[in-house]
Structure formats: C-alpha cells, structure tokens
C-alpha cells in the first residue's frame, strides 16, 4: 500500500472518535514512572473515550510538582476543557495553580490523592485509605503473633509527607500496632517511629532502599549473626521494592526475610509475593476508581450531582469533601491467582 493511503487509513479512526463538540476532560497523573499511575492514566483515558468524552492526558514527568502546576494552569486556560481530573504529586501545592479553574467554575475531581487548601475541588474519588492501613497493620499482627513473652522486632516506613493518603495509611496501621509497641510485644530497634523519622520523600524506591540500608547499619540487623528483624510496615509496593532490594543485597532469602507489607499490586510486588519476598499487597481496583470518575464526569456534564458515598472522612483544610471511597482488598499468596 502506498504511504499516503496508509497515512489516510491511520488518521481516519482518530477523526471519527474524537468528537469536536464532546465534553473534554483534562486528566493529570502524578508520574508515568510508577506502575500504578501509568496504568490508571491510560485506563481513565480509555474509559472516558469509550463513553464519548474527549480526553487530554498528561503525566507529571519525574514527579515534577512545578510541571504539574503548569499543566493545570494551561488546561484551565484552555477554552476546550470542561473538567479536570487531577492525581496530584503534592496535594498541598496546587491551590494557587487552581485559582484559574476556580474563577472559571471548572469542575475539578481530586483523583486518589486529596488536593488541600482550596475550595476549587468539586469531588474526591479515592479508596478507603484508612482501611488500607488497617489491613496492613492487622496482617503484621496476624503473621507475627507478638506477645510480651515473645516480642517481635519491626521497622516502620511512612509514605511521602506531602501525600494526605500517607497519613491515613500510617494512622490506621498504627492504631493496630501501637498497643503492642506500648506493651513491649513489638519492638522498633531503630527508635524511628514518627512520620518525620520514617517518611520516604515522593515515595521513591531508591530512597526506601537507602533508608533500609541505614537502619541495618544503625541496629545491626542481619540474616544470620545479626539482630533478628521480623516485620516491616511498608505502606506501598514502590517502597517495599526498595526495602527488598536492600535485604536481598544484605543476604536475606525467602527463608528468613521479614514479613513485609505493601499496596498497589504492582507487577514487582506480585512477583515478590509469588517468590516469597513480600508477604502481602493491596489490590486497588483501578476499574472501580475509573468507573467512579466516569460517573462523576457524566453527572457533571449533565449538570447533575454525582453519586457519592462519604462526606465525613476527608476534609481538605477548607471543606468537607464530597467523596466516593472504593474498597481496597488484601492480596497474599492465598489469593494472588486472581490477579495473575
Ligand atoms: C496512593 C498509593 C500509592 C502511593 C505511591 C498514594 O497516594 O494512594 O496507592 O502507592 O501514593 O504512589
């Protein structure tokens, strides 16, 4: 086939699917470098397009807050954009960038992570993030059976300080773990417990690996002659991967690796669970969240109120959020097959 004919054929479907007058949604995701956001960015794009909406999808580069602020301003100024869906990098740093959207009354859906300090947000579509932390905390207790007579050594990792979700994961997990820490049934030998001591900036895998190395050196944990390490509360798979990288490098095997939690069911985590390096993760059904966003966009495009199931859990510092919370699910070796 001649090049011209091929080009014409490849352009045609685009012309027919992108509808000139359709409601257009600007979708911003925090980064393309983490499995979850890459998958969900394209997932929302497909879902919205299949329902006849136009979509402009952007990723925040290498977790670049100022790039995301510029993207928000550009899309808000674009007269073709009818609504924004924003998965923030730093939820506390977008209030300024959203002033244009606010003055134009452009509907904004805060996606997964809460945008704080502004009333420019119309809806919040997320998971029950407290429940994630609760599942992780309970899992550690179930696996370790810590008692005062048989105490267990654990370490704690917090997510990124600029992410409101991290507070919920940690807060609910600690509600489960704290009584055991207070009684001495759980021991944190590094002495690092508070968010300021345990956080991993921007959820970066390399930084979680580095912190694990530092803790090993500080406490003297080791697979054979070193101090015993029984469990690690890790809020997310991207952090667990860094921890596991360090532990393997330090000689841990599936025989003696501590019980490590996670979240997101990333390909890396599923492999680590199958092989026995990671004990659990959380499945956050992207489809459920995308359907929620789609319902919200449909309602907004018709000038109707969207279906929500929560108005009391999240307050962004300015208002109680009209939220829809999706359900997180525990995944371990016993049920991992459903995701493979
Ligand atoms: C999300 C988690 C994710 C983490 C790191 C959080 O805001 O809720 O699912 O693991 O960010 O990207």
Structure confidence by residue, pLDDT tens digits, 145-172? 999 999 999 999 999 999 999 999 999 9
Tally of residues, the chain:
340
Q: What pLDDT, on the 0 to 100 scale, is given for residue 1? A: 37
Q: What pLDDT, on the 0 to 100 scale, is given for residue 19? A: 58
Q: Is 165 in the pocket of ligand 1 (CB under 6 A)?
A: yes
Q: What pLDDT, on the 0 to 100 scale, is given for residue 10? A: 40
Asked if pLDDT for residue 12 goes beyond 50, the answer is: no
Q: Which two tokens stand for residue 106?
A: 């452009």
CA 17, 18, 24, 29 torsion: positive or negative? positive
Asked if pLDDT for residue 45 goes beyond 60, the answer is: yes
Share of the chain above pLDDT 70, in %: 94
* For residues 254-283, average pLDDT: 98
Alpha helix (H) residue ranges in the chain? 3-17, 35-50, 65-77, 99-103, 129-144, 164-183, 195-198, 205-219, 237-249, 267-275, 286-301
Q: Which residues of 71-96 are buried (b: 16+ CB within 10 A; e: fewer)?
A: bbbebbeeeebbbbbbbbbbbbbbbe
Confidence of residue 118 (pLDDT cuts 50, 70, 90): very high
* For residues 214-223, average pLDDT: 98
Q: What pLDDT, on the 0 to 100 scale, is given for residue 8? A: 39
Q: Is 234 in the pocket of ligand 1 (CB under 6 A)?
A: no
Q: Is 40 in the pocket of ligand 1 (CB under 6 A)?
A: no
Q: Which atom of ligand 1 is nearest to the CA of 237?
A: 10
Asked if pLDDT for residue 296 goes beyond 90, the answer is: yes
Asked if pLDDT for residue 191 goes beyond 60, the answer is: yes
Residue of minimum CA distance from atom 4 in ligand 1: 236
Confidence of residue 20 (pLDDT cuts 50, 70, 90): low
Q: Is 264 in the pocket of ligand 1 (CB under 6 A)?
A: yes
Q: Is 174 in the pocket of ligand 1 (CB under 6 A)?
A: no
Cα 284 to middle of ligand 1, angstroms:
10
Cα 9 to middle of ligand 1, angstroms:
40
Q: Is 131 in the pocket of ligand 1 (CB under 6 A)?
A: no
Average pLDDT, the chain: 94
Q: Is 90 in the pocket of ligand 1 (CB under 6 A)?
A: no
Share of the chain above pLDDT 90, in %: 92
Q: Is 36 in the pocket of ligand 1 (CB under 6 A)?
A: yes
Q: What pLDDT, on the 0 to 100 scale, is given for residue 16? A: 42
Q: What pLDDT, on the 0 to 100 scale, is given for residue 18? A: 54
Confidence of residue 231 (pLDDT cuts 50, 70, 90): very high
Out of 165, 265, 283, mutate this one to test ligand 1's pocket (max ligand atoms within 8 Å of CB): namely 165
Q: What pLDDT, on the 0 to 100 scale, is given for residue 333? A: 98
Confidence of residue 9 (pLDDT cuts 50, 70, 90): very low
Q: Is 203 in the pocket of ligand 1 (CB under 6 A)?
A: yes
Q: Is 128 in the pocket of ligand 1 (CB under 6 A)?
A: no
Query: CA-to-CA distance for 225 and 213, rounded, in angstroms?
Result: 17
Asked if pLDDT for residue 13 goes beyond 50, the answer is: no
Phi, psi dihedral angles at 235 (to 5 degrees): -75, -25
Cα 200 to middle of ligand 1, angstroms:
12
**Helix and strand numbers, DSSP H then E, in the chain:** 11, 12
Confidence of residue 187 (pLDDT cuts 50, 70, 90): very high
* For residues 234-262, average pLDDT: 98
Cα 291 to middle of ligand 1, angstroms:
19
pTM of the predicted structure, to 2 decimals: 0.92
Confidence of residue 179 (pLDDT cuts 50, 70, 90): very high
């Amino acid at each position: 086939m001649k090049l011209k004919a091929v080009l014409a054929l490849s352009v045609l479907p685009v012309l027919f699917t992108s509808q000139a007058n359709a409601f257009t949604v600007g979708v911003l995701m925090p980064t393309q470098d983490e499995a979850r956001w890459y998958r969900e960015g394209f997932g929302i794009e497909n879902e919205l397009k299949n329902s006849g909406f136009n979509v402009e999808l952007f990723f925040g580069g290498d977790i670049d807050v100022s790039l995301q602020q510029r993207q928000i301003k550009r899309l808000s100024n674009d007269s073709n954009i009818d609504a924004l869906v924003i998965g923030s990098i730093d939820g506390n740093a977008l209030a300024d960038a959203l002033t244009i959207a606010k003055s134009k009354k452009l509907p904004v859906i805060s996606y997964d992570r809460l945008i704080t300090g502004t009333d420019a947000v119309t809806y919040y579509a997320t998971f029950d993030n407290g429940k994630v932390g609760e599942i992780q905390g309970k899992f550690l207790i179930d696996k370790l059976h810590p008692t005062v007579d048989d105490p267990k050594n654990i370490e704690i990792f917090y997510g990124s300080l600029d992410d409101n979700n991290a507070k919920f994961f940690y807060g609910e997990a600690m509600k489960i773990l704290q009584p055991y820490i207070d009684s001495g049934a759980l021991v944190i030998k590094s002495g690092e417990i508070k968010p300021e001591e345990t956080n991993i900036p921007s959820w970066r895998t390399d930084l979680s690996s580095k912190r694990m190395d530092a803790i090993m050196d500080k406490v003297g944990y080791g697979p054979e002659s070193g101090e015993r390490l029984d469990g690690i509360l890790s809020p997310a798979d991207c952090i667990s991967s860094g921890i596991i990288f360090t532990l393997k490098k330090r000689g841990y095997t599936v025989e003696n690796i501590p019980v490590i939690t996670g979240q997101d069911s990333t390909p890396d985590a599923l492999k680590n669970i199958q092989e026995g390096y990671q004990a659990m993760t959380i499945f956050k059904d992207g489809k459920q969240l995308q359907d929620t966003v789609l319902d919200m966009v449909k309602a907004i495009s018709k000038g109707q109120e969207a279906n929500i199931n929560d108005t009391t859990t999240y307050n962004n510092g300015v208002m109680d959020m009209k939220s829809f919370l999706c359900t997180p699910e525990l995944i371990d070796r016993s049920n991992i097959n459903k995701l493979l």
